[in-house]
Structure 1
Amino acid sequence: MLSIILSIAGGFTAVLIGGWLFTNSMEHISHRYRLGGSFVGAVISPVLTSLPELIVFLVALLVYGGVSGEEVAVGTVIGEPFVVSTIIYPIIFLVAIIGFRRGSRNDLVLEVGRELILPFIVVITLYPTVLLPALLGIGVIRYVIATALFIAYLVYVGLMRGKEGVVIEDVEELRFIKLARFNEDVALALQVITSVLLLYVGSKYLVSGVVYLSRMLSIDTMGLSIIIVPTATVLPESITAIIWTLGNRDTMAVAALIGEKVLYSTIYPALALVLTSWSLTYEAIISVITVETVSVAMLYHVLRGRLTWDVGLIGLVGYAIYIIALI
């Protein structure tokens, strides 16, 4: 049991540090291209911060394989939007309260730009399609849906490119800048390589810990991975959103989270539909319903330009229902 705990804890830590380093280095790369805030938040940032989940997905399939590895892979794809919708949004509102008390925020609600209507519509429209292959039981439909989701994401990126917003000027110093004797190119290369290695090693141990723990507790592997794996791998984008919330950059904070959900409503389900048998448990179905409910509630508020605390409350209720169903 101790070895399993150490495996999960060690993997969790490595993925967190790797994601932190990788995100920091990618921010410097994106800054050089002078891309606007909304585009960076809803497109660039999710692509970069979702790397931990992608590596977990690939490690589960290629290194472990079999039924357990496939269930962890699918659970990771289904679980990330679920964790963001049920846990991260309430944390964001808690951070808003802290920021308000510290004087870094003007109010307790999140003021967001209407350009975020598009990613919310994409999630609400496309995310439920991940249930169709499992519900209909038709093999070929998996490839049809996968192709459609991939094309939809490309269209989404093109549309968001025209909604860039203001260029972000504040970029934190590269973590490895002193190690590379202030040579930014060398520092950037070293930091990217180190972060990728940490993400791979951490993901491998995290997946193995989830598989062994599910066997020991006789809990469905997919159901458990929907909670544990995304809770670890969602940290990079969550930290980014938290920092932006404290700094009163609400549109950027929400864009980072909804952009991640767009990615997991299109590209990552498309990969899973092609590379796995895509068999879903009832826990997965509950998580999809929860994500849809929270997304619809948030779209209503985005249309008004203000997100209020009831969005976080809906997420917490959905999480509680899922835990009860899992137990």
Structure 2
Amino acid sequence: MFAHYALLALALVLIVAAAEMFTNGIEWLGQRLGLSEGVVGSLLAAVGTALPETLIPIVAVFWFGGKHGADVGIGAIAGAPFMLSTLTLSLCGLSMFVFSRTGRRKQEMKINNGLLTRDLCFFIVAYSLALGASFMSPDRTLRLCVAAGIFLIYPFYVYLTIKGESEMGDEPEELYLAKVFKLDSKRLVLIVPQILLSLVGIVGGASLFVDHIETIAKGIGFSALFLSLIVSPIATELPEKINSIIWARSGKDTLALANITGALVFQACFPVAFGVAFTSWNLDQKTIASGIVAIFSAMIYLRLITTNRLKPVHLMCGAFAYFCVIGVIIATDTVDPMPISSIKQLSL
């Protein structure tokens, strides 16, 4: 068991180190290409870290197949927006609060209201359509049309994000590979490899983390349901959390929050469109409840942002909603969850 704890710690160190490399590299890519903080945070960083976990529902549906695979796929699709809009934003707010209290950053938040408003509006629209699709006729043609509509929301969002006015971020710390090779940090020949290496480290670290934390939890006696609902999702969303914590520590609040809100839009479009098109998309009451909580949380944050009242403590409240919903799901679950071996295969 000690070996599992040691490897778990190693995985966490690997994820943190890779996330440091990723945030540094992605900021320099934005500087090199003249991109705004909105594009860097909401598009490049959000999509870069969200792509690996997006494969989970696809693997579940096509690899395992049948009702069990579809159920796990739908759970993975619905779980990401729920966790991002509650627990992940909460951890970001907690980081801002702690770092400001310890003098690592200024207390006040400095965010691009227009950028975050756009992200949350697109998420609310796309995910509301997704939840509504669960009540539609099972007609295949109609489902495909709805899926296509949800999918096409994202290119429009990308267009508006690139077109929208937003300031470039301050020049980041020297590129890590540039330090090694003693070259200019703006060289794409160094920036791109650093980003790719960091993504490999993030994926590898997350896979190792999921594997060993599930083994430890199973040895302690936690159920597979507990693992599938809580442990695995927290681990697979770990890169987004750490990226945002790193940016929050540096006082780069727009990047910290846009990394999460941009991932919300991505998760509400690509995986959801896949789910509507290739599964029955008959959401149960618990899944619908988690979706409603995600949308409601986004609406609250949207209101706070548009009225210039958003503070770290508001973000921290998302954890309360997350644990309340998780508690209800665990307490009322009567269906045998997917076997632990299958959960591990999906997580990896």
- For residue 324 of structure 2, the aligned residue among 315, 320, 323 is 320
8 Å Cα contact 1:210-1:225 kept in structure 2: no
Gap change, CA 1:193 and 1:70, over 3 Å in 2: farther
Shift, 1:21, TM fit: 4.9
TM-score normalised to structure 2 length: 0.74
Show the counterpart of 2:91. 91
1:229-288 deviation digits (Å, cap 9, x = unpaired): 331232222223223323333233222211111111212211333344434333321210
Show the counterpart of 2:107. 107
8 Å Cα contact 1:59-1:204 kept in structure 2: no
User: Where do residues 166-315 of structure 1 align in structure 2 (5 Å cutoff)?
Assistant: 166-175=167-176, 190-191=193-194, 194-195=197-198, 197=200, 225-308=228-311, 309-315=313-319
Where does structure 1 lack aligned partners over 5 or more consecutive residues?
Answer: none
Identity %: 26
1:19-67 deviation digits (Å, cap 9, x = unpaired): 6655554444333211011222222221112123124344444555554
Greater displacement, 295-304 / 199-208 = 199-208
Amino acid across the alignment from 1:107: Q
Query: 1: CA distance between counterparts of 2:143 and 2:41?
Result: 30
Query: 2: CA distance between counterparts of 1:192 and 1:322?
Result: 34
Query: 2: CA distance between counterparts of 1:65 and 1:13?
Result: 35
Show the counterpart of 1:156. 157
8 Å Cα contact 2:86-2:318 kept in structure 1: yes
Q: Secondary structure at 2:29's aligned position in 1? A: helix
8 Å Cα contact 2:70-2:279 kept in structure 1: yes
Gap change, CA 1:149 and 1:251, over 3 Å in 2: same
Show the counterpart of 1:29. 29
Query: 2: CA distance between counterparts of 1:230 and 1:270?
Result: 20
8 Å Cα contact 2:202-2:239 kept in structure 1: no
TM-score normalised to structure 1 length: 0.78
Amino acid across the alignment from 1:319: F
8 Å Cα contact 1:52-1:203 kept in structure 2: no
Q: Secondary structure at 2:239's aligned position in 1? A: helix
Query: 1: CA distance between counterparts of 2:279 and 2:12?
Result: 25
Number of residue equivalences = 324
8 Å Cα contact 1:19-1:52 kept in structure 2: no
Query: 2: CA distance between counterparts of 1:234 and 1:10?
Result: 17
Query: 2: CA distance between counterparts of 1:7 and 1:47?
Result: 27
Gap change, CA 1:28 and 1:277, over 3 Å in 2: farther
Where does structure 2 lack aligned partners over 5 or more consecutive residues?
Answer: 332-348
Backbone CA RMSD of aligned residues:
3.8
Amino acid across the alignment from 1:113: N
Amino acid across the alignment from 1:313: C
Gap change, CA 1:134 and 1:114, over 3 Å in 2: closer
User: Where do residues 34-45 of structure 1 align in structure 2 (5 Å cutoff)?
Assistant: 34-45=34-45
Greater displacement, 3-12 / 281-290 = 3-12
Shift, 1:299, TM fit: 0.8
8 Å Cα contact 1:79-1:230 kept in structure 2: yes
Shift, 1:18, TM fit: 5.8
Amino acid across the alignment from 1:300: R
Greater displacement, 199-208 / 134-143 = 199-208
Query: 2: CA distance between counterparts of 1:19 and 1:68?
Result: 33
Amino acid across the alignment from 1:298: Y
Query: 2: CA distance between counterparts of 1:242 and 1:207?
Result: 20
Gap change, CA 1:210 and 1:78, over 3 Å in 2: farther
Amino acid across the alignment from 2:281: W
